Amino acid sequence: MDSGIGDLRVLEAIRRTPRHLFVDEALASRAYEDVALPIGHGQTISQPFIVGLMTQALVENVEHPGKALEIGTGCGYQAAILSQLFDQVTSVERIKELYKRSRDLSFTLGYRNVQVLYGDGLQGWKEGALYDAILMAAAPEKLPDTLLEQLKIGGRLVAPIGGRGFQRLIFIERQEGGYPQKVIEHVNFVPTVAGTE
């Protein structure tokens, strides 16, 4: 991948989002470094560059991005970025404490079009389907069919796929006849875990 984030809407959303408020106070001074940081429960807030890259893949050359689903809310940073680009964002988290914290934080910060839900995101969220965009913020070994089925024709999905430590970041734009896939980048996300805790 040559390059950076060129989509102005994505850059503006990143610029406007106070990342220091999504991490623990002790880490706030590092919040604007381009690195992943711990958010508790063995999870991390994603690296801003990767957040930008994934968001850009979903909205680039799309005039009206519509409705997005995120799997793995974590601290809610990625959802906050998406909320500035999409009409509606549904984000699913399986760890109750992270779910509660990011639900409250996105409310406090005024991201009114973000709905944070507690559940197993590997099942997607059928009630809100179909989606224009689906983003996985944790890596499954294999892309769940359930998620693909919740994507509109013409809708886009971006997800890290593979085992712990090294995954392919894949991009799919659903066609009438299937799910053509390309690899955007190599990345390192936490793995998905089935069920809730």
Give the nearer residue to ligand SAH in terms of CB position, either 44 or 83.
44
150 lines the binding site for ligand SAH (CB under 6 A): no
Q: Angle formed by the axes of helices 48-59 and 8-16, to 10°? A: 140
Kindly indicate which of the ranges 90-98, 106-114, 146-154, 162-170 contains the residues binding ligand SAH, using the contact rule CB under 6 A: 90-98
Give the nearer residue to ligand SAH in terms of CB position, either 100 or 153.
100
Looking only at residues 26 through 65 of this chain, which bind ligand SAH when binding is defined by CB under 6 A? 43-46
Residue nearest to ligand SAH (CB): 72
Q: Are 52 and 11 in contact (CB under 8 A)?
A: yes
Q: Are 11 and 2 in contact (CB under 8 A)?
A: no
What is the longest distance spanned by two Cα atoms in the chain?
50
29 as an active site residue: the answer is no
Task: Give the burial string for 30-41 (b: 16+ CB within 10 Å, else e).
Answer: ebeeeebbebee
Give the nearer residue to ligand SAH in terms of CB position, either 136 or 172.
136
When binding is defined by CB under 6 A, the residue of 68, 138, 147, 157 that contacts ligand SAH is: 138
Query: What are the backbone angles phi and psi of residue 137, rounded to the nearest 5°?
Result: -105, 10
Interface ranges with ligand SAH (CB under 6 A): 43-46, 71-75, 77-78, 92-95, 98, 120-122, 137-138, 190, 192-194
